């Protein structure tokens, strides 16, 4: 279990939350390194995320199904649910109603098929052997159960029945459910840091076991195995318009320095960026303990909140630091050409390169 430095914690209590989060992130920015080449197995990647990160996990899985073997999704919905519309994202794709209901799942299936035929995403036969682990909290009023159920039906149209697992917890709110956060919110909470404790339920362990198969018992990792890295080389010429932060994080046990480890990408949710909550999602969402004992690399890419015009003269309004699942970057956001998806894929490819790591 990772603990925040006591001096930083004391400062956090004495200043405004925004500045506290900024101070927490400053050392990581200063020490950001090059993402190391680890000779990883990048032909069997898995992904997961919560809320906007859940939607992003679905998009990345569908866009790169030939190399992504499965997705774990907490509080997310079907591929291209928002259909390039902020209004759809805020209504039917979070809390559908009689005046703006979710379309039938066939609409999403047809849209996905058209994307594949156009070559915007990988051929859909890449989904055949994949797995999906889906979660909905009974007290989640942000992304309601029917949305996740629609994702369940979406995946079951492509995957054999036993490969998709839909899990619910009657008391869980809108959050990552973890046993590792030192100061967790209550199970039913929907508030920062959006890391809740619901008894012994361990979402990261549950989803990784479903996606990867039986795992060795989790083990406390050394703090120094979490590395910050410079995301900017992966963002292309229009980096400011991507709403991605300058720095991201990667965890890998020492055993992965010899190559051959699998890769899992964990997408934070809205208001879970390092600007908002420091390293709490990276350290305490529950992934790194399982990665330490199972030769698993965990990539934690990062978004940064944007409030309009950026330094690159791009207009990006993303004040809550969400992943793009409705088109605030461009209309290709859910395809292989989407700015964020391209950046993440480039990071994965870097991990797959051979080379010595820094000590």
Residues annotated as catalytic are 51, 140, 174
Q: DSSP states of 28-77 as a string?
A: HHHT-BPPPP---EEEEEEEEEETHHHHHHHHHHHHTTTTEEEEEEES--
Q: Any alpha helices (H) in 187-325, and if so which ranges?
A: 203-212, 274-277, 280-284, 287-293
H or E element in which residue 9 lies: helix 6-14
Q: Show the tokens assigned to 262.
A: 């699998």
Give the Cβ contact number of residue 358 at 10 Å.
8
Separation between Cα atoms, residue 24 and residue 28, nearest integer Å:
8
Interhelix angle 105-117/145-156, nearest 10 degrees: 50
User: CB of 200 within 8 A of CB of 279?
Assistant: no
Separation between Cα atoms, residue 348 and residue 263, nearest integer Å:
8
């Amino acid at each position: 279990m990772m603990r925040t430095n006591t001096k930083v914690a004391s400062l956090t209590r004495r200043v405004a939350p925004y500045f506290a989060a900024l101070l927490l992130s400053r050392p990581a920015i200063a020490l950001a390194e090059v993402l190391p080449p680890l000779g990883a197995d990048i032909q069997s990647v898995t992904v997961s995320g919560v809320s906007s990160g859940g939607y992003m996990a679905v998009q990345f899985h569908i866009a790169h199904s030939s190399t992504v073997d499965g997705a774990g999704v907490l509080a997310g919905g079907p591929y291209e649910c928002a259909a390039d519309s902020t209004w759809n994202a805020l209504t039917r794709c979070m809390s559908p109603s009689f005046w703006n209901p979710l379309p039938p799942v066939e609409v999403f299936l047809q849209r996905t098929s058209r994307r594949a035929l156009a070559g915007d995403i990988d051929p859909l036969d890449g989904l055949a052997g994949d797995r999906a682990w889906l979660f909905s909290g009974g007290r989640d009023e942000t992304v309601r159960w029917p949305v996740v159920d629609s994702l369940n039906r979406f995946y079951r149209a492509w995957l054999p029945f036993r490969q998709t697992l839909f899990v619910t917890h009657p008391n869980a709110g809108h959050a990552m459910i973890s046993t590792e956060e030192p100061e967790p919110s209550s199970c039913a909470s929907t508030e920062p840091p959006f890391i809740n404790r619901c008894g012994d339920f361990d979402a990261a362990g549950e989803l990784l076991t479903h996606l990867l198969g039986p795992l060795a018992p989790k083990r406390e990792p050394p703090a120094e195995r979490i590395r910050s890295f410079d995301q900017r080389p992966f963002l292309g010429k229009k980096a400011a318009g991507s709403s991605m932060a300058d720095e991201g994080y990667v965890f890998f046990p020492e055993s992965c320095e010899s190559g051959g480890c699998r890769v899992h990408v964990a997408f934070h949710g809205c208001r879970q960026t390092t600007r908002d909550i420091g390293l709490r999602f990276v350290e305490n969402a529950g992934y790194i303990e399982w990665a330490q004992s199972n030769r698993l690399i965990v990539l934690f890419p990062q978004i940064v909140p944007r409030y309009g015009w950026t330094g690159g003269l791009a207009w990006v309004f993303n004040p809550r630091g969400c992943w793009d699942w409705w088109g605030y970057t461009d209309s290709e956001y859910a395809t292989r050409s989407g700015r964020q998806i391209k950046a993440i894929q480039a990071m994965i490819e870097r991990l797959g390169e051979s080379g010595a790591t820094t000590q």
